[in-house]
Amino acid sequence: MVEQEHTTHTQEGHVIIVPSPGMGHLIPLTEFAKLLHSTHNFSISLLLLTTTSVPTSAQSAYLSGLPSAISYTFLPPVDPSLLPDDVAHEVTINLTHVHSANHLRDSIARLTRDTRVVALVTDLFGTLLFDVAREFGVLPYLYFTSTAMCLSLLFHLPLLDETVSCEYRDMVDPVVLPGCVPLYGKDFVDTAKDRKDEAYKVIMDQIKRYKLAEGIFVNTFMDLEPGALHALQHNNPDQPPVYPIGPIIQSGLGDGPDGSDILRWLDRQQPESVLFVSFGSGGTLSYEQLIELAIGLEKSGQRFLWVVRSPSNSSFGSFFSAKSQDDPFGFLPDGYVDRIADRGLLVPSWAPQIEVLGHRSTGGFLSHCGWNSTLESIVNGVPLIAWPLYAEQRMNAVMLNEGVKVALRPKGAEGNLVEAEEIAKVVRELMEGEEGKRVHQRMKELSEYAKMSRSEDGVSTKLLNQVVHKWQS
C-alpha cells in the first residue's frame, strides 16, 4: 500500500473520493477534490485503485502537486491473474473494483472512525461503494465524468434493452433523447456495442445502481447542454438529483515532463495559426491510420503540433499507462521529420496540453473528443476537429459537430480509415475556411458561457454550493 497521509481536520468535514483506474478517471475526480478543498475547505482522502504494482509515472507526477489537505492512498494492486487480458477496459476496471472491495471497506471504516466524513464520491464504475458508504452513515454521490447526453443514454438503456431485439448498431432509426441531437446506435458508448459482451453486462449492472446515489454530479454546464440537463433534472422522479457543476478542468500539471521547448516553439508562431493534434492520455491509432494522418497534416499546408504515439491495434492502447511503447517517430514515413520541420513540431507521447490550448498561437485542436480534453478546449475557446476513438467519444463527436457546432468531423472511408486527402481538407477548412470561422466564433461564445457558469454567481457554482450546504448541515 503506497500512502501519502496528512490527515487534516477541518471544521467543514472530510470527503472520500474513489476514482477508477486510468488517468481519464483520476484527473477529473482529483480536480473535483481540489475544488472542494479550495472553495469549501474540506479535507479529502483519495483512495486509488490500481492495475499495476507501482503507480505509473503519469500518476505520480500528477499527484505530487496536491495540497496537504488532500491525501492519497494507493490500495494494494489486484492480483494480475484475476484480470483477464482479452476483455474491454470497462471489464478490467469493474473487476479491479470488485477485487478491491475489502481494502476499500477497511479504508472507509478507518476514515469514518478518525474523521467526520460527510460524503463519498465515486465515478460510474464505483457504484458497489454506495451500500458501503450508507452502512457507515456517509452520503454516496456519483461523479459522472462525461456529458449529460451520455448520462441520458445510460438511463435510457434499460428500456432499450427490453424493447429492442437487434444490436443497437443495426437499428434503422436514431434514438432521440430529450433535449439531445438524434443519436444512431453505431455512435453509442462502446459498452453498448455488443450486447453479448461482458462490458455490456457490467454497465447495465452499474446503471441499475445509479439510483442508489444521493445525487449525481456531471462535469458539464447549463449553456452547453441545456436540453439534456433540463430533462435529467425534471423528467424522472425516480432518478437522483443531477447537478451540472462544470466545467472543472485540470488546474496544475504537477511535476510532469518539461514542456518549455514546446511552448517556446509556440511563442514563435502567429496567433491562432497552429493546429494541436493529440489523442488524449490513452488514445492510439493503427499503423495505417498513423501514416494517413502524417501525410494529411503535411498536405494541409498548415502549422501543427502533433503528440505522436506508437501505433497499436487497439484504439486505447495507452489507456492505463499513458506512455508510448516504442520510439513513435520510427513509424512515420521516410524523411517525414525533415520535410515538415519548418512548420510542424512532433513530440513523443506527451505535451503540456493545458498550456498548449491556452496559448495564443493555438487555433484548432484535432482531438479524440475525450471529455476532459473537450472541456479544456471549450474553456480556452479552441475549435475542434472531432476524431473519436473509444468509450463515449463518438457520442461526444456527434454532440460537438451536429449539436453544439463547435467541431468539424472528417469522413472515414472503407473500414473507417480517414484518408490523407480528407484530413488535409478538414484541417484547411478549420484553420482558414468559412465554416472554420463559424465554428471558431461559436467556440469563443461557448468559452465565455463556460467561464460564467463557474464564476461566483454562476449556475454551476450555485448548484455545488447547494450540495455543500447539505453536507455541512
**Catalytic residue annotation:** 25, 123
Distance CA 218, CA 243 (A): 6
243 - beta bridge partners? Answer: 217
DSSP character for 127?
Answer: T
Q: Cα separations (Å) of 176 from 169, 179, 210, 228, 392?
A: 15, 8, 22, 11, 17
> How deeply is 4 buried, as exposed, middle or buried, from its count of CB atoms within 10 A (0-12, 13-18, 19+)?
middle
Closest C-alpha to 260, from 177, 355, 137 = 355
Which residue in the block uniquely carries the three cell numbers 484480470? 83
142 - beta bridge partners? Answer: 122, 216
The 3-class SS string of 69-121 reads CEEEEECCCCCHHHCCCCCCHHHHHHHHHHHCHHHHHHHHHHHHHHCCEEEEE
DSSP character for 472?
Answer: H
Do 45 and 71 meet the contact criterion of CB atoms below 8 Å apart? Answer: yes
Closest C-alpha to 390, from 220, 219, 187 = 187
Question: Residue 57: CB partners within 8 Å, gap ≥ 6?
Answer: 323
Closest C-alpha to 292, from 408, 422, 384 = 422
Q: Cα separations (Å) of 264 from 88, 359, 376?
A: 40, 11, 21
Distance CA 345, CA 51 (A): 33
Phi and psi (nearest 5°) for 120?
-120, 130
Question: Residue 417: CB partners within 8 Å, gap ≥ 6?
Answer: 288, 289, 292
> In this structure, what C-alpha cell is assigned to residue 291?
501514416
Q: Do the strands 215-218 and 242-244 form a parallel or antiparallel pair, or are they unpaired?
A: parallel
Phi and psi (nearest 5°) for 364?
-170, 160
